[in-house]
Amino acid sequence: MAQADLERGSRKVAYNLPVAVCIAGAVVSVLLWFALVFERRDQVLESTTEAAELTGEAIEHAIHLQFDALGRLRELLTAAGLGRRPEVDTALAEMAEGIGGVRSVVWIDLDGSTHEVLFGTPSPEMIEGEIALARTAGASFGIEETSAGDLHLRAVLASSDEGSNVLLAMIDPHELLERATTGRARGYAVSVSAGDREIFARAEPSGDAWQGWWRVERQLALPGGQGWQAVFRPTAELAALRLTPVPHYLLAAALVLSLTLGVVTYLYRANLRQERSLEAANRVLSDKGEELERRVSERTEALEDAMAELEAFNYSVSHDLRSPLSAILNFVAILEEDYRNRPLDDDGMEMLDRIQRSASRATDLLEGLLKLSRAGRAELVNERIDMTSVARETFAQTRAAESDPDVTLALDTLPDAMGDRSLLSDVFANLFSNAIKYSRGCRDRTIIVRGEVRGGECVYEVADNGHGFDMRFADKLFGLFERLHASDDVEGTGVGLAMVARVVKRHGGRTWAEGRPEEGARFFFSIPRGVRS
């Protein structure tokens, strides 16, 4: 009975987990979909509001500009009375050229019922009707409909001498508004209404009922207390461009993925229950065998490296380090013998300088050995590395440290690598330092960095136009304390390229070089594509 209850409980857990995975995935998918949709709506409405504000300001500015121009013309006519004047003609020409939609301008003497047509060709009947309307209404500004059914913007401005004269202007509102909105609110259907009457419409708005939220209204403040309303809605083309169905596709894909994860979870747990015991035993044996082989291989390789390092260190101690240390001892003995009872002269100071250089040489050798040791023992931190950025930053640091501002970098876009960013930065630093040192004295010093993917590895190249080397000695380049030039010609310890080889080898890669005397050198290293433990 207890065994049966245990099996039922196990099956219940096996079903509950896949269902929970499906529900959790669906909930997260819907929440993300809502967030995407409403964030996009907010962005769309924000941009539409900004376009509406700018376009509304342009319309207000155009109408106020026109009204001001009519006011200046009225002042000129008030002073001049009936009869044309040169300054009036000039103002009319500027107004007709600078303000769109002007149909006619008439100057009317209300006392004598006389008038003068200043611009356009209004009909006598229209002028008589406007004279009668001006006497009763006085100054006004608004939309009117002609007997032919056309709309026009009627502007009546009284003169400054108690209204005995008025300036009547008939303006085509559609042309005025079209000119004011040209180049603004592109992609939007714009309509302007005065009260319940639509006086301007540009483009057709999208007819999709689901886009009813995409609508922005803007009240226009005009002369004479007129309040027009501008409405901005997207055209079908703009709606198709901005409201792509990507969020819906993502939601559908996420829901399918949630269902798939639930099914995979169920199958995985069912298979796990059936094979857990056998797989666990096989896994333990396999892991132990692989771990043993790996440890043996690592220990063998580490022992070989340690023996090689020990031999190189013995050589360094017996040769490279002994030379500067012996020089120090010899110069100290000379100083002690020759300057025991007298102060140091120029020769003595030169000996002190030689002692300092020899000590620096020994210190650099020891520092190189320490760096090489750290490069071999540091734990690798595997991550994806932007090698282009690493090369650019490392070059700037190396050039500053070498104090060589006349060296330039030609850097191609490098493929990303998987590895330890700090150690691979050291690789570039040593290659750059080597290229800078061995190109001194050359013209147009340039370091070229390239990279490409070859099969299963990323190959990187650092080339210079320096002194180069003889390919007969290429196999010695990456050895510890191996130098192809005398230390008096090019400074260095012979550790840098050895460190390059050590770091690249720890990443599972390889190093090689090509060059010719006085024709520059090319150094290559490769990094496998993938994480290395």
CATH number at residue 165: 3.30.450
**Residue at 201: amino acid letter:** A
If one compares 75 and 344, the residue with the highest pLDDT of the two is 75
If one compares 474 and 481, the residue with the highest pLDDT of the two is 474
Write down the pLDDT at residue 490.
Answer: 47
Write down the pLDDT at residue 486.
Answer: 47
CA distance 341 to 84: 117
In a domain, 126, yes or no: yes
**Residue at 148: amino acid letter:** A
CA distance 185 to 51: 5
Q: How far is CA 179 from the centre of its chain?
A: 37
- On the question of pLDDT at 257 being above 70, the answer is yes
In the sheet where 140-145 sits, what is the strand order? 114-119, 102-109, 165-171, 151-158, 140-145
Band of the pLDDT at 524, cuts 50, 70, 90?
very high
- On the question of pLDDT at 188 being above 80, the answer is yes
Write down the pLDDT at residue 53.
Answer: 92
Mean pLDDT of 467-490: 67
In a domain, 135, yes or no: yes
CA distance 49 to 34: 22
Write down the pLDDT at residue 118.
Answer: 77
Q: Are 45 and 216 in contact (CB under 8 A)?
A: yes
Count of domains forming the chain: 2
- CA nearest to 520, candidates 476, 486, 450, 469: 469
pLDDT in tens, 76-98: 777 766 556 677 777 776 666 66
Question: 464 is written with which tokens?
Answer: 């210079």
211-225, 290-304, 307-321: which is most confident: 211-225
In a domain, 80, yes or no: yes
Q: Are 101 and 173 in contact (CB under 8 A)?
A: yes
- On the question of pLDDT at 523 being above 60, the answer is yes
| Ranges 11-20, 394-403, 493-502: which has the least confidence | 11-20
Q: What is the DSSP letter of 471?
A: G
- CA nearest to 484, candidates 521, 511, 447: 521
Phi-psi group of 439: left, alpha or beta (phi > 0 → left; psi -120 to 50 → alpha; rest → beta) = alpha
CA distance 386 to 424: 11
Question: 181 is written with which tokens?
Answer: 């909105």
Helix ranges restricted to H, 191-245: 236-242
- On the question of pLDDT at 112 being above 50, the answer is yes
Q: Say which CATH number the domain at 383 has.
A: 3.30.565.10
pLDDT in tens, 5-55: 545 555 555 567 778 878 888 888 888 888 888 888 898 889 999 999 999
In a domain, 215, yes or no: no
Question: 56 is written with which tokens?
Answer: 């509304």
In a domain, 315, yes or no: no
In a domain, 475, yes or no: yes
Query: End of a domain among 124, 158, 176?
Result: 176
- On the question of pLDDT at 375 being above 70, the answer is no
CA distance 85 to 41: 58
Question: 312 is written with which tokens?
Answer: 């190189």
Mean pLDDT for the chain? 78
In a domain, 87, yes or no: yes
Write down the pLDDT at residue 348.
Answer: 66
- On the question of pLDDT at 270 being above 90, the answer is no
Q: Are 208 and 148 in contact (CB under 8 A)?
A: no
- On the question of pLDDT at 294 being above 90, the answer is no
Mean pLDDT of 253-268: 82
Q: Tokens 């520092």 map to which residue?
A: 367
Give the Å distances, CA to CA, from 450 to 90, 409, 424, 525: 70, 11, 15, 11
CA distance 512 to 519: 17
Band of the pLDDT at 249, cuts 50, 70, 90?
confident
Find the radius of gyration of the CA atoms of the chain.
Answer: 44
In a domain, 514, yes or no: yes
CB-based burial label for 37 (10 Å; 0-12, 13-18, 19+):
middle
Residue range of the domain that includes 488 = 378-533
Give the Å distances, CA to CA, from 144 to 120, 140, 195, 395, 439: 18, 11, 12, 75, 85
Query: End of a domain among 176, 204, 222?
Result: 176
Query: End of a domain among 176, 211, 232?
Result: 176
- On the question of pLDDT at 446 being above 80, the answer is yes
Question: 69 is written with which tokens?
Answer: 């121009």
Q: Are 36 and 253 in contact (CB under 8 A)?
A: no
pLDDT in tens, 127-177: 777 777 666 665 667 777 766 667 777 777 776 655 577 877 888 888 888
